[in-house]
Amino acid sequence: MHISELDTPSVVVDLDVLERNIARMAAYSAKTGIKLRPHIKTHKTPEIAKMQIASGAIGIAAAKPGEAAIMAAAGLDDIFIAYPIVAAQKAEHFLSLSDAARLSISVDSIEAAECLAKASDARGYDLPILVELDVGFGRCGVQNAPAALALAQQIDKLQGAHFGGLMYYPGHMMVPVERANAFLPHVNAAVESAYEAITGAGLEVRVVSGGSTPMAYRSEEFSHLTEIRPGMYPLNDRNLVVGGFATLEECALSVIATVVSNAVPHRVILDGGSKTFSSDRLLTGDHIGHGVVVQDPDAIFYGLSEEHGHLDITSSTRTYKLGERLRIVPNHVCATINMHDTIYGVRGDQVETVWNVAARGRVQ
Amino acid sequence: MHISELDTPSVVVDLDVLERNIARMAAYSAKTGIKLRPHIKTHKTPEIAKMQIASGAIGIAAAKPGEAAIMAAAGLDDIFIAYPIVAAQKAEHFLSLSDAARLSISVDSIEAAECLAKASDARGYDLPILVELDVGFGRCGVQNAPAALALAQQIDKLQGAHFGGLMYYPGHMMVPVERANAFLPHVNAAVESAYEAITGAGLEVRVVSGGSTPMAYRSEEFSHLTEIRPGMYPLNDRNLVVGGFATLEECALSVIATVVSNAVPHRVILDGGSKTFSSDRLLTGDHIGHGVVVQDPDAIFYGLSEEHGHLDITSSTRTYKLGERLRIVPNHVCATINMHDTIYGVRGDQVETVWNVAARGRVQ
C-alpha cells in the first residue's frame, strides 16, 4: 500500500531510521560492555521489542505487569519491572509471568519487597529485587546510602527474593543537554555512595541499572553502571531534538495529518489533536508547541483540541491547501504511540508493516 | 464484585450520579424545547449514548467517522459529525453509515461540502450540511455573516446535499464562568448576524446547533439556538468544577489509584500518571494540578510521569499509607476516558457494569 492510501491521522514509523537507531544503540552497548535493556513503554509493540532483542539487548524493561504480560505472551523472556508493586493481587499477576520469563523488579520500600517476595515464594521462585535510588529526580527511590543499605539488607533476608542490585531513573535529565550535564556529578555521587555502603557491608551489587535515552550514548560517564534502560532511542522525538540529544533525521516516528480547515486567518487546522499526539508538553525547551511540521519548521503547532491541531502560519512562507497532508514529529513519542492501536511501518512511500500496539493502555 | 477488588488504576463511574446528570439535562431540554444532541467524544461508549437517547436526546454528535461507525453499529441512528471532512476516502466511509443512521455534518469550506456531497450523491443520499460559524474560539468556522451566507448558498446548489443550518462551538467558554459570561454577547452577535443574512436571502435555517457543557443550562440565553451538543454533562470533571459550572458531587467519574511510594519527603506517588489521566491541563483556573484527590483536597496533584502521579502533601494533614487507594477526579474527563479500554459502572461500593470504551482511539 502507498502511504497516501492511509486514512489520517495515522502514525507511521520509518523502518530505515528505526533499524539504524536500534543498531546504533546495540553497537554502543557492545562496544562499552554496558548491557542494554530497552524500556518498552515507548513503543508497547512486541515486534519492535523483538528487533531490539535480536540486535543484542539482554531483555526488556516495562512499567506495569499488564505490559509485561503482553510481552511475555509474545515470547519476550527476560522482563524487569521498573516500578514498585505494593498490592498482593498485582504481585501475584506479575509473578504468574515467571512461567514464561525471567523476572526482576525494583522497589523503594520494604512493604513492596515483602509483598513481592510473598507472591514469589508461593511459586517457589527466587525474585531478584533491586533497590531504587533517587538520584535527583525526586519521584521514587530511597533518599540516601544508609537507606539503600538498610533496604538491601532487609530484601536479602526475604524468602522468595534476593537483593539484585541498584536501580535509578534520571528522569530530570530530559532537559536541555547543558542542564543534564550539570546533573551528572550529583547522579554519580548518589550512586557511588550507595554502592560503597552496600558492598562495604558485604552484599554484592550485581546490577546497577540506569539509563534513559537522553544521556544513553554517554553511559560510560555514569559510575558503576552495568545496564541501561532507554526507551525512546528507536524512535526519538521533538523533546530529544530540542534538548540536543538527537537530530530530526533520527526521528523515526511521525504523524500524517490532513489540513481540514483554513477559515481562520493565519491559522491552519489539522485533523489530529490531543487524542492523536497526546497533550504532553515540550520538556527540553520553552514548553511551546506540540510538534515539528516536517514540511514547514516555521509553522508553530501552538494548540490542541481533542481532534484538532492548531497551526499558526503567520511566520510561514509556505502555502497551505485544504486536503493536503503534513508529517509531524510529536513532542513525546511514548505518549503519542499510547493514543493509537495501530502504527504503520513504512519504507520510503510504501507501507511495509502494520503493527498492533499490543501493550497500549495496559496501565495496571 | 466489590470495588476494592478492582486492580488499579481503574476508571469508575458512579451510576447514581451519571443517571442524575443525564436526567437533569434531558429535563432542561424538555422544559426549554432546545433539543439535546449529546457529543459522544466524552464517553465514547455506546451504552452511555443509549442512556442519553432513552432520556430524550434526539441523536448524537461525534467528531470522527470512526466514532460514528462504532455508534451506528451499536444502534445509534441519528448522527451529526461536528467536524469538516475534506478527503474522498473519509467522506465515503462516513456516507456508508447512511445505511444505518440519519447523517448530518458541518463544514467551513466549499471544498469540504463538495467532497461530502459527491460521496452522498453516489449513494442517492441527501446530506444536510450545516455551515460552521466561528463565534470567537478561533479554531474552525467561517468568519462572518457574508461568508456564512455565501457558503450556505453554495451548499444549497450541490447535488446530494442541502443547507442544513448553522453550527458553532463555543470552545472558548471553558474558562471561569465570569469570562464565559463576557463572551456571550459576542457569540450572540455573530449568530444573529449570520442567521439574519441567510434567512434574509430566502434560505431557511432549520437548525442552529451550539452548546457544550459549561453553559448548557443557560442555553435559552443563546440566540436562535435549536439544539445543543454538550459532551461532558453526564460525567463532569475538575475543569467544570473549578470554572463554576458543576459541583464535585456532580462528577460521576473518578480514577481509583494506589499509593505506591512515599520515599521522597512530603510527596506521595500514585500508580497512575499521564497514561491514566492524560496530561490535559486545567483550563478554568491557574493551570496547576491534574485532579482533585477526593479524600484530601489539600493534596496537590502537581506532577505526572507516564505511570506515576505525583502528590505534594506538604499542606496536607492526612496520613498516607503505602498500598492505600485514593479516588481522583481528573481535570478533563474526555481525555481521561480516552486512555482506557474499560470503565466500571459502580453503585455504592459494588461494581454493577463493565463498559468497553468502544469508540476509544477512533481518531480517523
| Per-position DSSP letters for A155-198, written without gaps between them | HHTSTTEEEEEEE---GGG-S-HHHHHHHHHHHHHHHHHHHHHH
Each residue of A168-197: pLDDT tens digit?
999 999 999 999 999 999 999 999 999 999
Do residues A218 and A198 lie in contact, with contact meaning Cβ atoms separated by under 8 Å?
A: no
Cα separations in angstroms, A275 against A31, A35, A280, A323, B280: 40, 35, 11, 20, 10
8 Å CB contact of A10 and B364: yes
The interface predicted TM-score of the complex, written ipTM, equals: 0.96
pLDDT score, position B311? 98
Distance from CA of A75 to the nearest CA of B (A): 24
Instruction: Find the residue in A nearest to B302 (Cα).
Output: A139
8 Å CB contact of B339 and A363: yes
Q: How many CB atoms lie within 10 A of CB A43?
A: 30
Q: What is the mean pLDDT of chain A?
A: 97
* Residues of chain A with C-beta less than 8 angstroms from the C-beta of B8: 87, 364
Distance from CA of A31 to the nearest CA of B (A): 31
Phi, psi of A207 (to 5 degrees): -130, 135
* Among the ranges given (A219-233, A268-282, B81-95, B282-296), the one the predictor scored with the smallest mean pLDDT: B282-296
8 Å CB contact of A143 and B7: no
8 Å CB contact of A89 and B7: yes
Instruction: Find the residue in A nearest to B273 (Cα).
Output: A363
Once rounded to an integer, what is the mean pLDDT over residues B36-56? 98
Cα separations in angstroms, B10 against A362, B216, B257: 11, 29, 7
How many A/B residue pairs have CB atoms within 8 Å? Answer: 184
Question: Which among A86, A322, A339 is the nearest to B322, CB-wise?
Answer: A86
Q: How far is CA A321 from the centre of its chain?
A: 36
pLDDT score, position B281? 94
Distance from CA of B44 to the nearest CA of A (A): 12
8 Å CB contact of B361 and A338: no
Q: How far apart are CA B97 and CA B76, in angstroms?
A: 11
**pLDDT band, residue B232 (cuts 50/70/90):** very high
8 Å CB contact of B279 and A275: no
Q: What is the mean pLDDT of chain B?
A: 97
Pairing, β B161-167 against β A78-81:
unpaired
8 Å CB contact of A363 and B171: no
Question: Which among A271, A340, A364 is the nearest to B8, CB-wise?
Answer: A364
User: Does the pLDDT at position B288 exceed 90?
Assistant: no
* Residues of chain B with C-beta less than 8 angstroms from the C-beta of A142: 263
**pLDDT band, residue B48 (cuts 50/70/90):** very high
Distance from CA of A116 to the nearest CA of B (A): 13
pLDDT score, position A288? 86
Phi, psi of B358 (to 5 degrees): -65, -30
Question: Which among A87, A267, A335 is the nearest to B258, CB-wise?
Answer: A87
Each residue of A315-344: pLDDT tens digit?
999 999 999 999 999 999 999 999 999 999
* Residues of chain A with C-beta less than 8 angstroms from the C-beta of B340: 361, 363
**pLDDT band, residue B287 (cuts 50/70/90):** confident
User: Does the pLDDT at position B285 exceed 90?
Assistant: no
Q: Which residues of A118-134 are buried (b: 16+ CB within 10 A; e: fewer)?
A: bbbbeeebebbbbbbbb
User: Does the pLDDT at position B270 exceed 90?
Assistant: yes
* Among the ranges given (B116-130, B186-200, B286-300), the one the predictor scored with the smallest mean pLDDT: B286-300
Q: How far apart are CA A97 and CA A103, in angstroms?
A: 8
Each residue of B313-352: pLDDT tens digit?
999 999 999 999 999 999 999 999 999 999 999 999 999 9
The sign one gets for the Cα dihedral A54, A60, A64, A65 is positive
8 Å CB contact of A264 and B86: no
Q: How many helices (H) and strands (E) does chain B have?
A: 10, 17
Do residues A123 and A159 lie in contact, with contact meaning Cβ atoms separated by under 8 Å?
A: no
Q: What strand order describes the sheet that includes A161-167?
A: A35-36, A227-228, A207-210, A161-167, A127-132, A102-107, A78-81, A60-62
Query: What residues are paired with B257 via a beta bridge?
Result: B326
Once rounded to an integer, what is the mean pLDDT over residues B146-172? 97
Question: Which among A261, A278, A340 is the nearest to B140, CB-wise?
Answer: A261
Question: Interior CA angle at B32 toward B27 and B33, to 5°?
Answer: 95
Q: How far apart are CA B269 and CA B258, in angstroms?
A: 8
The sign one gets for the Cα dihedral B56, B59, B62, B67 is positive
Q: How far apart are CA A178 and CA A182, in angstroms?
A: 7
Q: How far apart are CA A59 and CA A37, in angstroms?
A: 5
Question: Which residue's C-alpha cell is 443574512?
Answer: B197
- All cell numbers assigned to A275: 487524542
Once rounded to an integer, what is the mean pLDDT over residues B80-89? 96
Query: What residue type is A254 in one-letter code?
Result: S
Question: Which among A64, A86, A143 is the nearest to B307, CB-wise?
Answer: A64
pLDDT score, position B165? 98
Once rounded to an integer, what is the mean pLDDT over residues A271-293? 94
* Residues of chain B with C-beta less than 8 angstroms from the C-beta of A132: 263
**pLDDT band, residue B286 (cuts 50/70/90):** confident
8 Å CB contact of A275 and B339: no
Q: How far apart are CA A161 and CA A155, in angstroms?
A: 7
Distance from CA of B136 to the nearest CA of A (A): 10
Cα separations in angstroms, B244 against B17, B173, B220, B231, B254: 18, 12, 19, 17, 19
Domains of chain B: 3-8+239-356 (2.40.37.20), 15-234 (3.20.20.10)
Q: How far apart are CA B24 and CA B21, in angstroms?
A: 5
Each residue of A198-229: pLDDT tens digit?
999 999 999 999 989 999 999 999 999 999 99
Distance from CA of B31 to the nearest CA of A (A): 31
- All cell numbers assigned to A317: 512562507
User: Does the pLDDT at position A287 exceed 90?
Assistant: no
**pLDDT band, residue A279 (cuts 50/70/90):** very high
Q: Burial of B266 by CB count in 10 Å (0-12 exposed, 13-18 middle, 19+ buried)?
A: exposed
